[in-house]
């Protein structure tokens, strides 16, 4: 596996940690039918698979975040949520660098 691919993937240990942090539910709508597999900074933009860049979203909210005009609004919401948990963690540290 390529180093970048591995860095962007979400290991089970990260999913477990995020699932606990997010109290087993979508951080946007509260649905318990959710998964800890959404990158705040996308994989396409080299977003790392680390707890500081991963959130739990339901399928509907994940789709809206990735594919609709609500992207900017949801990105701001997710950023604020992550800032509560990681106040000194910059976006630059969420991105893969060679």
Query: What is the C-alpha to C-alpha distance for residues 91 and 70, in angstroms, rounded to an integer?
Result: 20
To the nearest whole number, what is the mean pLDDT of the chain?
Answer: 95
Q: What is the pTM of this model?
A: 0.93
* Residue among 72, 34, 73 nearest 54 (CA): 34
pLDDT in tens, 39-66: 999 999 999 999 999 999 999 999 999 9
Contact status, residue 50 vs residue 15, Cβ threshold 8 Å: no
């Amino acid at each position: 596996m390529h180093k970048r691919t591995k860095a962007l993937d979400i290991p089970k240990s990260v999913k477990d940690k995020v699932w606990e942090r997010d109290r087993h539910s979508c951080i946007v709508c509260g649905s318990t039918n959710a998964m800890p597999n959404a990158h705040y900074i996308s994989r396409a933009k080299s977003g790392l698979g680390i707890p500081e860049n991963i959130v739990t979203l339901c399928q509907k909210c994940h789709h809206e975040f990735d594919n609709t005009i609500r992207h900017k609004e949801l990105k701001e919401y997710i950023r604020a949520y992550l800032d509560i948990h990681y106040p000194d963690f910059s976006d630059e540290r969420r991105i893969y660098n060679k």
